[in-house]
Amino acid sequence: MDGIRYRDEDLRGYVVRFMEHFAVPRDEAQIVADVLVEADRRGITSHGVVRLSSYYGDRLRQKLIKPAAQISVVHETETSALLDGGNGLGQVVAHRAMSLCVRKAQSANIAAVAVRNSNHFGIAGYYAMMALEHSMIGVALTNSQPLVAPTFGRSAMVGTNPIAVAVPAGRKMPFVLDMATSTVSIGRIRVYEKTSKSIPLGWAVDSSGTPTSDPGDVLAGGALLPLGGGAETSGYKGYGLAVAVDILAGLLPGASFGSHVGHPTDLGAAGVGHFFLAMQIGAFRKEEDFRADVDALVEELAQAPKGSGQARIYVAGEKEYETAAECKVRGIPLVVEVVRQLAEEGERAGVPFDLRPME
């Protein structure tokens, strides 16, 4: 991606200062910085610092998210826990929850933690990946504000409810699946509208529930389609996955669910729920054998016959690791518009975005 490149530590430092300005304790601000900058570093720019104000800063300022929130354990067993996030920053709450989940899995081999009363937590993959260094498979799910129409419906009733699964490999990079259960994100629709491009049929519907290629129709009362698109191409599967995520991340912890999860612009608590799972590989099989097999599968897929005109087959997470490696050398790129936005929002918040670009 082209753009203005910044040093990783500079960007993190800015996010920390920004959060501290809103009374977020330093160690918690550092978690938020880590999650947001990790998204940019991995090329998932839609979930990076671009959201600093709109998803987090603006809500902290309006006291819709609590800085230094009290996170409490409502119920726990050796293999499970239910946390109340105290309406704190989603990143801080989720980091705490997955840390607890991994700790429980260290002694019980498998553990799950469900969370209620939280907020948008950024990229789900970040928390699934927390399992990797412990030789575990990690799973992270969250519900989100309603943006997706159920199959045969026309209104947004469920969130883009992402599924993240992280799996350690041997010599290869870990497998990291981090996907919304909608076909695309609402941000993608906005980009197409801004540039007056039509969207592929199957991404979204207009306000009558009819698939449309006009992004304006989607934003004017339409909704995203679940993964798979319309019913003919099995969109009910993506819809089913979105509901399954809502059940585990929303209903199991007693969080908000379905159409009741708050939008970042809503004036009440969002009531977001999460679900985390961690499993030790050694509980099933010798770890090095498993890691060697992950390598073998990844290699086999990379070597598989390519489609006409295609140069490469990827596995989930591969592109992101390569982008991160490039960012390590060249810095993290932000597009000009995002830099302008950060400058504007920093000014307004009283935390000037004064970072020097690299080179």
Q: Look at residues 150, 210, 157, 147 and name the one whose alpha carbon lies nearest to residue 184.
A: 147
CB of 250 to a second copy, least distance (A): 8
Distance of CA 254 to the CA centre of its chain: 21
227 binds a second copy (CB under 8 A): yes
What residues numbered 25-64 form the site for a second copy, per CB under 8 A? none
CA atoms of 244 and 241, how far apart (whole Å): 5
Q: How far is CA 55 from CA 32, 49, 65, 119, 143, in A?
A: 12, 10, 10, 9, 15
Compare residues 201 and 343 and give the one whose CB is closer to a second copy: 201
Return the structure tokens found at 325.
Answer: 């490696």
Q: Name which position in 24, 92, 315, 327 contacts a second copy (CB under 8 A).
A: 315
Residues 62-121 within binding reach of a second copy (CB under 8 A): 75, 77-82, 108-112, 114
Q: What part of residues 251-280 is at the interface with a second copy (CB under 8 A)?
A: 251-254, 257-259, 279-280
Stretch that binds a second copy, among 21-29, 50-58, 177-185, 341-349 (CB under 8 A): 177-185
Return d(Cα 168, Cα 132) in angstroms, integer. 5
What's the min distance (Å) between Cβ of 181 and a second copy? Answer: 8
DSSP letter string, 227-283: TT-SGGGTHHHHHHHHHHHHIIIIITTT---GGGSPPTT-SS---EEEEEEEEEGGG
Q: Is residue 219 near a second copy by the rule CB under 8 A?
A: no
Minimum separation from the CB atom of position 184 to a second copy (A):
6
314 contributes a contact to a second copy by CB under 8 A: yes
Kindly state the greatest CA–CA separation across the chain: 55
User: CB under 8 A: which stretch of 43-51, 117-125, 302-310, 338-346 binds a second copy?
Assistant: 302-310
**CA-CA-CA-CA dihedral for 181, 184, 188, 189, to nearest 10:** -110
Single out the segment in contact with a second copy by CB under 8 A; choices: 26-34, 63-71, 293-301, 339-347.
293-301
By CB under 8 A, residue 141 contacts a second copy: no
